[in-house]
A and B are shown apart, each in its own frame.
Chain A
Amino acid sequence: MKALSQKRRHPLAAVILLAIALLLTGGLYAVATATNEAKADTSVSYTAQDAEEGQKLFIANCATCHGTNAEGTADGPALIGVGAAAVDFQVGTGRMPMQMQGTQAQVKPGQFNEEQTHQLAAYVASLGAGPTIPEAEFTDVSQGDAANGAKVFLANCAMCHNAAGVGGALTRGKFAPSLMGVSEKHIYEAMETGPQGMPVFNDANITPEEKRDVITYLKSQEVNSSPGGFALGSLGPVAEGLLIWTLGLGIVLVFTIWLTSRSA
């Protein structure tokens, strides 16, 4: 130990320390991303031709905002390292290409078919490693646990998306959209990549199995009919108040007028 401490002023000490630090962080990062990829890499494979076709589509449709090499411009972020999952989510749900610049990309009918989306994803994935499209195993709701999913959902998602997953408001025109009717794959990819104002829920935060549970819970909410009658959009007390002030008051008024129509 004494010998080591005496060498701390050696001219090469800083260089060696820096090399060790870089190795450590780089190594840890590689391990961390490897655990993400190990579980979700094999289902989708890209050929060199896919990436080539994807690049052509990218230049024609995306480069205006994201730059010709996906390096980003003032109007759109760089796409190097965002991964195939981000492309599959944004393009697959119709959010990209954006209809117009705004606070948030809106859902619209998709502009590209499945093959084109696949090619675009292949091109963006070829630019740098990033989250990949989930394996079928992790979007299969028959293997999920709805009760655990409810727990994870209420603890992590309900603050923006509402307890019933019907969406909610964020600041300055941003919003958390409704999760009803969103495909399993897209829900998974959204958690993986954190589109728009959404935070990333990586595999260390919510494991792929837990993500599957959340999807299972949401899908069970879609299938189960509301036990108490019409759900009024599952919006809570405001919808209920509106109903009593309109339909409730309306019916009461009709009866009061009827009862007093034969006045003394």
Chain B
Amino acid sequence: MSHTSVQKDYQAKTNTGKIANYLDQRVGMSGIIKEFGRKIFPDHWSFMFGEVALYSLVILILSGTFLTLWFNPSMAPTAYDGSYVPMKGTEMSVAYASALDISFDIRGGLLLRQIHHWAALLFMLALTIHMLRVFFTGAFRRPRELNWLVGCALLIVGILAGFTGYSLPDDVLSGNGLRIIDGIFKAIPLVGTYLSLFFFGGEFPGTLLISRLYAMHIMVIPAILLLLVAVHMFMVVLHKHTQYPGPGRREDNVVGFPVGPVYAAKAGGFFFIVFGIIAFLASTFTINAIWNYGPYDPSPVQAGTQPDWYVGFGDGALRLWPGVWPFHWEFNFLGGTWVLSVFLPFALMAGSVMMAMIFWPWIERWVTKDNREHHLLDRPRNAPFRTGVGVAGIIGYGSLMVAASSDLIATHFHVSLNDVAYVLRFMFVFGPLIGFLITYRFCLALQRKDRELVLHGIESGQVVQLPHGEFIEVHKPLDEYRRYKLVAFESPEVIPAQPNKKGKISLLEKTRGGLSKIWFQDRVAPVTPAELEAAHHAHHDAVEGTDSSAQIEK
């Protein structure tokens, strides 16, 4: 109470001041601004992809709202009477007809539809790149593991949002996609058929599905997405931003711009840049030409039917799964027939990639026993094992994603469809291992290069003849800022299996010790000050000759 009485005495002189004072008295604006307006954002291009995803989501909501004004999710039959001639008089669902109307008969409809779809592709792309950045720099470590989980949830809900949207137009393409979903439901042992009947409201495709998907797509899924985004952003503020190592950057500070006023202006401008990029794509390139596909009918399947790229890994898993060896993935058990040729690719191939991603922070913490807080990021080369695993994941996921376009690879590169499948199967199984080994060695080599740079400096190209006739090249030492970046990292060592309180080494701990050995046995340690000192001495000797070394000795 005394608080408000004190405020009352203050009279702002300017209009802006009066508005600010009004807000401050009612919602405590100054406190909010102090907390959020002073949040520091370090500048680095790789930190911007989360923002791109956020802005894409805003654009998705804006353009999606426009589309809801015209789209009609009814599956009732109607005869098309719009201005697209090749469909004139064709019987189709009201949903497809209204999607065609948005494309051909509503002013700006096609542009907004294309903006919505391109924004969706960019949203998922930015989300993916953002997750890769977080993974490769180790930003998921304590205290940010939970935010990593929220990010994974955003990715999965994003896939659901994309898929439900892809299915709405009710053309042959979206119907083919839904048929696969129906197949996946039915492939789940025991409950599959019930789930499918429950989801479609009867036998596929039924007459309820589009309106059900529509409710999910425009209400439930966006609500979940926004909630997750809110939690994500809250934790970003709570944990403060991570930063790359550098002079003056410590675990207990953040170096960068505060939100207000510079960063807010920059971010606001960036929103319009992202909007501009999406508008450019949408006004230049066709996306999802629904008028080509025709109304859905369960009988035809068209060549070139693929999902949007972010569902490609699931489609690819189905395409790569061998159908004949060692048996048809089908057997009789407990009085029923179990068909696993659809369930296994999803559970094993697509599922394993997803599970490894979700649980990685805990796997890494368990093996490294590193439970400290980390606010300084790793350069990917300084965490060779993790970087190797990341590349392995990209190759595994990538071969599944590429497999979803196996038919187009076959036609465009004039190779056999079957051969494409064989090569990609090999890539999925052995590619990750090969990629891991190459990346691991590459990281170690890069670390050695860093050591070399720190210890011996940069080759200057200046060749000097010494008094006794020897030619040497002068190496220019690195400046302090550059050197700091190359030496300021941790290089953990192997932690062998530890006995527990009873003095026994459990099997689990043995496994952990083994993994730790693989993880860290090959390591390149950062240059220590003593090593640097020694290198400088040697360097001096070489340049200045024996006289100066005698000088230093005294």
**A251 on the interface (CB 8 Å rule)?**
yes
Contact of A232 among B286, B302, B410 (CB under 8 A): B286
Within 8 A of B (CB), among A247-264: 247-249, 251-253, 255-257, 259-260, 262-264
Q: Which residue of A lies closest to B266 (CB)?
A: A259
**B405 on the interface (CB 8 Å rule)?**
yes
| Interface flags, B430-463, vs A, CB<8A=1, else 0 | 0000000000000000000000000000000000
Chain B residues, Cβ within 8 Å of A162: 302-304
Tell whether, in the assembled complex, residue B44 and residue A263 are in contact, meaning their CB atoms are under 8 Å apart. Answer: yes
User: Using a Cβ cutoff of 8 Å, how many contacts connect chains A and B?
Assistant: 197
Q: A260 with B48: in contact, given A228-B289, A249-B129 (CB under 8 Å)?
A: yes
Contact of B90 among A147, A227, A244 (CB under 8 A): A147
Chain A residues, Cβ within 8 Å of B52: 252, 256
| Interface flags, B477-516, vs A, CB<8A=1, else 0 | 0000000000000000000000000000000000000000
Tell whether, in the assembled complex, residue B129 and residue A229 are in contact, meaning their CB atoms are under 8 Å apart. Answer: no
CA distance A244 to B43 in the complex (A): 25
**B543 on the interface (CB 8 Å rule)?**
no
Tell whether, in the assembled complex, residue B417 and residue A169 are in contact, meaning their CB atoms are under 8 Å apart. Answer: yes
Tell whether, in the assembled complex, residue A163 and residue B293 are in contact, meaning their CB atoms are under 8 Å apart. Answer: yes
Interface size class of B (residues with CB under 8 A): 35 or more
| Interface flags, B281-314, vs A, CB<8A=1, else 0 | 1111111110111100101111111111100100
**B125 on the interface (CB 8 Å rule)?**
yes
CA distance A160 to B410 in the complex (A): 13
Q: A248 with B122: in contact, given A158-B302, A159-B303, A264-B43 (CB under 8 Å)?
A: yes
Tell whether, in the assembled complex, residue A232 and residue B256 are in contact, meaning their CB atoms are under 8 Å apart. Answer: no
Q: From residue B346, how far is it (CB to closest CB) to chain A in Å?
A: 19
Within 8 A of A (CB), among B257-273: 257, 266, 270, 273
CA distance A237 to B117 in the complex (A): 11
Tell whether, in the assembled complex, residue A228 and residue B286 are in contact, meaning their CB atoms are under 8 Å apart. Answer: yes
Q: A244 with B289: in contact, given A147-B85, A237-B308, A253-B45 (CB under 8 Å)?
A: no
CA distance A155 to B90 in the complex (A): 13
Within 8 A of B (CB), among A154-168: 154-155, 158-164, 166-168
CA distance A159 to B125 in the complex (A): 30
Contact of B306 among A228, A236, A259 (CB under 8 A): A236
CA distance A39 to B183 in the complex (A): 45
Q: From residue B87, how far is it (CB to closest CB) to chain A in Å?
A: 7
| Interface flags, A224-245, vs B, CB<8A=1, else 0 | 0011111110111111110111
Q: Which residue of B lies closest to A249 (CB)?
A: B125
**A42 on the interface (CB 8 Å rule)?**
no
Tell whether, in the assembled complex, residue A227 and residue B274 are in contact, meaning their CB atoms are under 8 Å apart. Answer: no
Chain B residues, Cβ within 8 Å of A163: 172-173, 292-294, 302-304
Chain B residues, Cβ within 8 Å of A256: 45-46, 48-49, 52
CA distance A172 to B308 in the complex (A): 26
**B75 on the interface (CB 8 Å rule)?**
no
**A146 on the interface (CB 8 Å rule)?**
yes
Tell whether, in the assembled complex, residue A228 and residue B277 are in contact, meaning their CB atoms are under 8 Å apart. Answer: no
Q: A234 with B407: in contact, given A171-B417, A217-B86, A252-B277 (CB under 8 Å)?
A: no
**A32 on the interface (CB 8 Å rule)?**
no
Within 8 A of B (CB), among A162-189: 162-164, 166-173, 175-176
**B408 on the interface (CB 8 Å rule)?**
yes
Chain B residues, Cβ within 8 Å of A228: 103, 110, 114, 285-287, 289
Chain A residues, Cβ within 8 Å of B281: 243-244, 247-248
Q: Which residue of B lies closest to A156 (CB)?
A: B300
Interface centre among B85, B303, B307 (most CB of A within 10 A): B303
CA distance A247 to B118 in the complex (A): 12
**A151 on the interface (CB 8 Å rule)?**
yes
Q: From residue B400, how far is it (CB to closest CB) to chain A in Å?
A: 13
Tell whether, in the assembled complex, residue A231 and residue B289 are in contact, meaning their CB atoms are under 8 Å apart. Answer: yes
Q: A248 with B121: in contact, given A146-B86, A263-B43 (CB under 8 Å)?
A: yes
**A220 on the interface (CB 8 Å rule)?**
yes
**B88 on the interface (CB 8 Å rule)?**
yes
Q: Which residue of B lies closest to A217 (CB)?
A: B86
**B329 on the interface (CB 8 Å rule)?**
no
Q: A244 with B118: in contact, given A255-B270, A259-B266 (CB under 8 Å)?
A: yes
CA distance A24 to B52 in the complex (A): 74
**B89 on the interface (CB 8 Å rule)?**
yes
Give the number of chain A interface residues (Cβ < 8 Å): 60
CA distance A256 to B304 in the complex (A): 34
**A150 on the interface (CB 8 Å rule)?**
yes
Q: A160 with B303: in contact, given A147-B90, A228-B289 (CB under 8 Å)?
A: yes
**B192 on the interface (CB 8 Å rule)?**
no
Q: From residue A87, how far is it (CB to closest CB) to chain B in Å?
A: 26
Query: Chain B interface mostly helix, strand, loop or mixed?
Result: helix
Chain A residues, Cβ within 8 Å of B305: 236
Q: A255 with B277: in contact, given A154-B300, A167-B411, A248-B122 (CB under 8 Å)?
A: yes
CA distance A163 to B169 in the complex (A): 16
Tell whether, in the assembled complex, residue A173 and residue B416 are in contact, meaning their CB atoms are under 8 Å apart. Answer: yes
Tell whether, in the assembled complex, residue A255 and residue B273 are in contact, meaning their CB atoms are under 8 Å apart. Answer: yes
**B353 on the interface (CB 8 Å rule)?**
no
Q: Which residue of A lies closest to B56 (CB)?
A: A252
Tell whether, in the assembled complex, residue A241 and residue B85 are in contact, meaning their CB atoms are under 8 Å apart. Answer: no
| Interface flags, B131-172, vs A, CB<8A=1, else 0 | 000000000000000000000000000000000000000001
| Interface flags, B94-119, vs A, CB<8A=1, else 0 | 00000000011000001000100110
Chain B residues, Cβ within 8 Å of A172: 416-418
Q: A173 with B417: in contact, given A229-B283, A237-B308, A238-B405 (CB under 8 Å)?
A: yes
Q: Which residue of A lies closest to B273 (CB)?
A: A255
Q: Which residue of B lies closest to A236 (CB)?
A: B304
Tell whether, in the assembled complex, residue A171 and residue B286 are in contact, meaning their CB atoms are under 8 Å apart. Answer: no
**B532 on the interface (CB 8 Å rule)?**
no
Q: A227 with B309: in contact, given A172-B417, A251-B277, A260-B45 (CB under 8 Å)?
A: no
Tell whether, in the assembled complex, residue A158 and residue B121 are in contact, meaning their CB atoms are under 8 Å apart. Answer: no
Q: From residue A176, how far is it (CB to closest CB) to chain B in Å?
A: 7
Tell whether, in the assembled complex, residue B309 and residue A231 are in contact, meaning their CB atoms are under 8 Å apart. Answer: no
Tell whether, in the assembled complex, residue B255 and residue A158 are in contact, meaning their CB atoms are under 8 Å apart. Answer: no
Tell whether, in the assembled complex, residue A146 and residue B85 are in contact, meaning their CB atoms are under 8 Å apart. Answer: yes
Chain A residues, Cβ within 8 Å of B289: 164, 226, 228, 231, 234
Tell whether, in the assembled complex, residue B288 and residue A237 are in contact, meaning their CB atoms are under 8 Å apart. Answer: yes
**B237 on the interface (CB 8 Å rule)?**
no
**B42 on the interface (CB 8 Å rule)?**
yes
CA distance A92 to B98 in the complex (A): 44
Chain A residues, Cβ within 8 Å of B277: 248, 251-252, 255
CA distance A263 to B247 in the complex (A): 14
Tell whether, in the assembled complex, residue A147 and residue B45 are in contact, meaning their CB atoms are under 8 Å apart. Answer: no
**B415 on the interface (CB 8 Å rule)?**
yes
Contact of A159 among B114, B280, B302 (CB under 8 A): B302
Q: Which residue of A lies closest to B91 (CB)?
A: A151
**Other than the known A220-B86, A262-B43, what 7 A-B pairs have Cβ atoms closer than 8 Å?**
A103-B416, A154-B294, A172-B416, A228-B286, A230-B284, A263-B44, A264-B255
Interface pairs (15), CB distance under 8 Å? A154-B302, A160-B303, A169-B407, A169-B408, A172-B416, A217-B86, A228-B110, A229-B284, A230-B284, A247-B281, A249-B129, A251-B277, A251-B280, A252-B277, A255-B270
- Top 5 nearest A-B pairs by Cβ distance? A168-B303, A241-B309, A228-B286, A173-B416, A169-B407
